[in-house]
Structure 1
Amino acid sequence: MKFKDGYWRMRPGVRGDYAVTAHDVTADAGSLRVLAPTREITRRGNTIDGPVITVDLSSPMPDVIRVRTTHFAGSVPQAPAFAVRDDDPEVKIVVDAAEAGLTSGGLTVRVRRDAPWEMTFSAGDRELTRSSGKSLGIMHDPDARHFMMEQLRLGAGELVYGLGERFGALVRNGQSIDVWNEDGGTSSEIAYKNVPFYLTNRGYGVFVNHPGRVSFEVGSETVSRVQFSVEGHDLEYLIIHGPTPADILRRYTALTGRPALPPAWSFGLWLSTSFTTDYDEATVTSFVDGMAERDLPLSVFHFDCFWMRQFRWCDFEWDPEVFPDPEGMLRRLKERGLRVCLWINPYIGQASALFEEGAAAGHLLRRPDGTVWQDDYWQAGRALVDFTSPAAREWYAGKLRGLLDIGVDAFKTDFGERIPTDVVYADGSDPERMHNYYSLIYNQTVHDVLAERRGEGDVVLFARSATTGGQRLPVHWGGDCESTFEAMAESLRGGLSLGMAGFGFWSHDIGGFEGRPDPAVFKRWVAFGLLSSHSRLHGSGSYRVPWLFDEESVDVLRAFTRLKARLMPYLYGSAVQATAEGLPMMRAMQLEFPGDRACDYLDAQYLLGSDLLVAPVLSADGDISYYVPEGVWTRLLDGERVSGPGWRTERHGFDSLPLLVRPGAVIATGAREDRPDYDYADGVTLEVYELPDGAARTVTVPGLDGAPAAVFEVTREGERVRARRVEGAPLPWNLRCSGGHAAAASGTDHIEIPLSAKE
């Protein structure tokens, strides 16, 4: 939200009161309180008739400093609030005549004690950012609304990333962004997943701890500052020190939560009925048969909206005319080794019998006059479940339990955006603060009932809406996109941006959602989709089975589905890292190569895990330019070496794309390609790529529970590569080096390869 007209003048009707000095400082039990008047105090009379901003400084964990600014403390709503870890770490506080300071770990905040106002954040001797003149303020707009605002300095060359799943340029500089969940597709500035957290290439991140609308002006209103503002009387933000982007994400997710580990079966191929298509059990069976006949590995079958009767979403009842025997159908699908996912949303259509039931019990969101909130968007007369009510959550969960009891394995938790603010919540929560937060308690309710029935290790959602904390409840997908190369690119940007906000797992509709993709778009998207954390074939008005496009689509899908299955020991290891450290499986290049300025703006390629570079082909003819960081990389699909740093221009067939292995990597690949969930340690192959002389790598092969199933140590000494198993049962395993050097073993603990020998 912009308050100024240019740099000097305010917009018509806007008034600002800015902190001008730190007049009074109090140190108390690991915190500092600063009274910051909005006028200079040169005599006692200046203390009358003017606002004062209270600034409280503290630390919830090492290398993180919390700043809480307040105007009228009695006007601050308390609910809802994000769950933020607070370890009450030991801090160092210094107060003298010139400044007051608080240090947590390697991060220090210093407040100047005379005019002008200046609050500086530094790591060692290096300044990270600062709040200075006309930065911290109380703003009033022409409608007499009250806002708290802060501006933090952007240094020369400083770039900003994050703020949720955003589909424009990955670098946020120059953008105006409102953190406010809306259903807008992937081609606009609004987004389904808004997160008030950003990080920069200067070694720090900023989390604005406010669940409602936060307005960001990222080098836009004032080009040398990031401005953020909220309506109300308090503003809390946390400065998170890195120094690397990965370190910042580790600390941010330690504060707000890290993802649960999705079950291994969820990493296989999902196939959907699509949205508005005509389908019944015969259609479903034909799709499953068609995949099996063409040797296309399939893991999950998803039933979209019309498994229920029209006008009655959600009543959680199968349409008896289309699916007369749902329990038998699910049993038959599961006999074929498939998992089953059902589409749901948090709305109750008026035609559903659950509308009267929910209204009578008080489970539906109400207007201030006590009537049920309704509109005709999506479903005629729809109402919303009030998830702030424990009774409503239990009522909703009870409907899901009946579906789980007949064989459902997962739920696609669609919608949860565009939540109204002219309502009253059962627990008294502030409606503005609940707008984004609603997505969190909706998805948490579904996650909890899945965990109750299936156990914590076998839970997966396919969610669309999210905010801070939503990363704990994977998986999320990118929402409604067109079936074009442009939409494929914007979807990728959204996923990389979401990863920069702490979300470890992300998916998208292979081929696009709206419209029917032409075969070239479909085949290129298949390669991208199977090299994402999760992979789903889904659309709107047309089916997404590959043989409806062309026979080559079948071959491409088969090849990349099998490739993903072989890579599962590596990929599941990356998933375990996401849950342990908060690093996304799909990583923007800047996240992995912060010292390479060529990576700062790259948003059409990514790292899958730490060691695989993926550059999706965004054209029918296969022409692509992509960037290779320093070192000798190896193309995974054909073994060709590629040297960086530098740009490469190539042409790829539909069965190929730039997929490069990082120099020095050891990639664990599995012995099966027909499914994603198998014993990864049994017959695993350690693929060694350009390991430097004298280097050592530890490779952990996970089990299906995420715990280590086998641990290997790989070293290179001169012209020999040695590997030994240091943990795990004596199962057969193999060692292979780039360049064709290979060896195999069966139940041994050591393998050695002389690099002079060829396979």
Structure 2
Amino acid sequence: MAEKITEFALLKDEFWWGGAIHDGIRMPYGTIDVEHDLSNLLENSGAPFLISNRGRYIWQNRPFRFEFRSGKLSIGCEEEVNLHEGHVTLSEAFHEAAGKYFPAIGRMPDPLAITAPQYCTWMEMHYEPTQQKTLDYAREIIRQGFPPGVLIIDDNWMEDYGTWKFNPSRFPDPKSMVDKLHDLGFKVMLWVCPYVSPDSRTGRSLGKQGFLVQDEKGKTALRRWWNGCSAVLDYTHPEAWTWFKETLDGLVEQYGIDGFKFDAGDPAGDPNSEWATGFQWKGTDIPNEDCAAYSRLGLHYPLSEYRASWKMGGAPLMQRLRDKPHSWGKDGIRMLIPNSIAQGLVGFAFNCPDMVGGGWDGDLGGNAFDPELFVRYAQCAALFPMMQFSTAPWKALDERMASYCLEAVKLRESLGAELLSLADEAGRKGTPILRAMEFVFPGRGFESIKDQFMVGDEILVAPVLVKGAASRQIIFPEGEWVGDDGSRVVGPVNLRVEAPLSRLPWYRREIRSV
């Protein structure tokens, strides 16, 4: 089917969000010329959805191209494009679109993922996780005063890619390990990916059954990824999908595993990406639907984390932002809020910023490591729907700096009941937990604010995102706001507040009884 171009004139002061989440740093769209093709999700999540502060939205069933230029929105798609109108605000348009196209499933992830941090072993252990290291790490978390939370055992716990069995030389008694972690108060997730070592016994068996993706010649296709070249499980094939699920279910039943970090799964359709292949999926020929099929695996577990997913709005999945460098720039900490706002507005309410402590090899080594950035990153993440550490603060920082990270975690604990209430609402209605200022206070000119956010409708959070800053400007809407430092601010007002390294500025809107 040939692509058709449909154009819409932008309304006065109209701004848009949606599409590829990693492009959130450029949102809201409408002020500068922008174009993007949603067959490329930029190694993160996304949806075929655009939504505006003027109550309009566009939903398509498949990826489309879009362009904002000269006061117009152009959509290139093989389907007929429908512009939904008739609403006044961003919130009203969101709730109608969610109800029609990505309704909430009716549940949230395990509450521990909301109230406590997640601790990933990646930067602590890299490709060398062991049973003893994992138990020692969990005990040290508690000894340092941090609460037990979700512990994610990352890459190389298994025998091989595609052979999802504990490596006995590293994990001699995994059931005992998981039981001890549960006794300490942790929930346990395992890292998995859809890649299969092609010359392994598992790879040969899956190939014979037709469960691996094939190329144009009908041979097993190989995908180059960050750990080499692997075959790919065809999770669009119902029997292959069932094989993977039953394999994961076996880990749950045998060892008591609580969930999985579903890594990779990036769509294979982008012709400009390093992921490009001649993949022939058995279950679909629509771009990105392979990613959607992979995402649906996570619906069967109380804890499922994804970096790459497609069209999973309303689902109780932990949606993590793409790995970022240890940076103060637009590629690092300044991305967290706008990208997370975008996640919420496409229905990914249970969103998690990138890991505190970095996710890239070498990030925390040498002169590149900035303790101040580590602390500000932890503060920024503290009141997101979820918070995840990849590096132990007490190892990377001095005692004073590490104490600021602990304070951020304790703040999260203190607001745990409110976060759970918002997560419950998100599970039932799909409403974002982390909200744009425009979502809560429409029509006040807050559309382009992306360095502060709302948690629900009552808590305003304004992290410091600039190196060396000990104060920052905050825009307060109407009402009386009570700060974490006991100060009171009457809005609307644009005010500079003190924010030393020890402080994450946040304010609660005081509701006066009549």
Counterpart of 2:178 in structure 1 is 330
Given candidates 49, 53, 74, the residue that maps to 1:227 is 74
Q: Does residue 1:175 correspond to 2:34, yes or no?
A: yes
Counterpart of 1:301 in structure 2 is 151
Counterpart of 1:511 in structure 2 is 357
CA distance in 2, matches of 1:306, 1:545: 23
Q: Does residue 1:156 correspond to 2:2, yes or no?
A: no
- Residues 2-17 of structure 1: pairs in structure 2 closer than 5 A: none
- Letter of the structure 2 residue corresponding to residue 408 of structure 1: I
Counterpart of 2:242 in structure 1 is 394
Does the residue aligned with 1:235 lie in a helix, a strand or coil? coil
Does the residue aligned with 1:510 lie in a helix, a strand or coil? coil
Does the residue aligned with 1:226 lie in a helix, a strand or coil? strand
- Letter of the structure 2 residue corresponding to residue 480 of structure 1: D
- Letter of the structure 2 residue corresponding to residue 441 of structure 1: A
Q: Is the 8 A contact 1:313 1:379 kept in 2?
A: no
1:230-260 CA-to-partner distances (Å, cap 9, x unmatched) read 2x4x334351542221111111111122253
Distance 1:418 1:362, change over 3 A: same
In structure 2, stretches of 5+ residues that fail to align are 270-276
- Residues 130-209 of structure 1: pairs in structure 2 closer than 5 A: 146-165=2-21, 166-173=23-30, 174-182=33-41, 190-207=42-59, 209=60
Does the residue aligned with 1:388 lie in a helix, a strand or coil? coil
CA distance in 2, matches of 1:370, 1:159: 46
Does the residue aligned with 2:335 lie in a helix, a strand or coil? helix
Distance 1:488 1:247, change over 3 A: same
- Residues 581-592 of structure 1: pairs in structure 2 closer than 5 A: 581-592=429-440
1:415-452 CA-to-partner distances (Å, cap 9, x unmatched) read 1114156333323x22xx1x31222211212322x2xx
Cα offset, 1:466, TM superposition: 1.8
Cα offset, 1:351, TM superposition: 4.1
Cα offset, 1:326, TM superposition: 1.8
Is 350-359 or 586-595 further displaced after alignment?
A: 350-359
Q: Is the 8 A contact 2:295 2:310 kept in 1?
A: no
Counterpart of 2:465 in structure 1 is 618
1:308-366 CA-to-partner distances (Å, cap 9, x unmatched) read 24xx3232122232222222211221121211011111121224432111111111111
TM-score normalised by the chain length of structure 1: 0.62
1:478-504 CA-to-partner distances (Å, cap 9, x unmatched) read 011011222011122211111122221
CA distance in 1, matches of 2:439, 2:297: 32
Cα offset, 1:620, TM superposition: 4.1
Q: Is the 8 A contact 2:306 2:319 kept in 1?
A: yes
Does the residue aligned with 1:660 lie in a helix, a strand or coil? strand
CA distance in 2, matches of 1:331, 1:479: 31
Counterpart of 1:257 in structure 2 is 103
CA distance in 2, matches of 1:638, 1:150: 51
Greater RCO (CA < 8 Å, at least 6 residues apart) = 2
Counterpart of 2:373 in structure 1 is 521
- The percent of aligned pairs where both chains have the same amino acid is 22
CA distance in 2, matches of 1:158, 1:359: 51
Given candidates 128, 134, 137, the residue that maps to 1:284 is 134
Distance 1:224 1:571, change over 3 A: same
Q: Does residue 1:534 correspond to 2:386, yes or no?
A: yes
Q: Is the 8 A contact 2:50 2:57 kept in 1?
A: yes
1:241-288 CA-to-partner distances (Å, cap 9, x unmatched) read 422211111111111222531221111111111153644233223322
Q: Is the 8 A contact 1:343 1:411 kept in 2?
A: yes
1:701-738 CA-to-partner distances (Å, cap 9, x unmatched) read xxxxxxxxxxxxxxxxxxxxxxxxxxxxxxxxxxxxxx
CA distance in 2, matches of 1:499, 1:271: 23
- Residues 711-722 of structure 1: pairs in structure 2 closer than 5 A: none
Given candidates 318, 327, 341, the residue that maps to 1:496 is 341
CA distance in 2, matches of 1:335, 1:643: 47
| Higher helix proportion (structure 1 or 2) | 2
Q: Does residue 1:607 correspond to 2:454, yes or no?
A: yes
1:47-89 CA-to-partner distances (Å, cap 9, x unmatched) read xxxxxxxxxxxxxxxxxxxxxxxxxxxx5xxxxxxxxxxxxxx
Counterpart of 2:273 in structure 1 is none
**Higher alpha-carbon Rg:** 1
- Letter of the structure 2 residue corresponding to residue 263 of structure 1: D
Cα offset, 1:531, TM superposition: 0.8
- Residues 67-86 of structure 1: pairs in structure 2 closer than 5 A: none
CA distance in 1, matches of 2:95, 2:454: 17
Counterpart of 2:84 in structure 1 is 239
Counterpart of 1:475 in structure 2 is 318
- Letter of the structure 1 residue corresponding to residue 380 of structure 2: F
Cα offset, 1:370, TM superposition: 1.6
CA distance in 2, matches of 1:329, 1:499: 36
Given candidates 464, 476, 486, the residue that maps to 2:307 is 464
Counterpart of 1:661 in structure 2 is 508
Q: Is the 8 A contact 1:615 1:657 kept in 2?
A: yes
CA distance in 2, matches of 1:375, 1:203: 41
Q: Is the 8 A contact 1:440 1:470 kept in 2?
A: no
| Higher strand proportion (structure 1 or 2) | 1
Cα offset, 1:175, TM superposition: 1.2
Q: Is the 8 A contact 1:502 1:582 kept in 2?
A: yes
- Letter of the structure 1 residue corresponding to residue 103 of structure 2: G
In structure 1, stretches of 5+ residues that fail to align are 1-74, 76-145, 183-189, 451-458, 665-690, 695-759
Q: Is the 8 A contact 1:205 1:240 kept in 2?
A: yes
Q: Is the 8 A contact 2:53 2:442 kept in 1?
A: yes
Q: Does residue 1:437 correspond to 2:289, yes or no?
A: yes
CA distance in 1, matches of 2:193, 2:308: 11
1:13-48 CA-to-partner distances (Å, cap 9, x unmatched) read xxxxxxxxxxxxxxxxxxxxxxxxxxxxxxxxxxxx
CA distance in 2, matches of 1:245, 1:159: 10
Aligned-residue RMSD, C-alpha: 2.0
Distance 1:551 1:314, change over 3 A: farther
Does the residue aligned with 2:472 lie in a helix, a strand or coil? strand
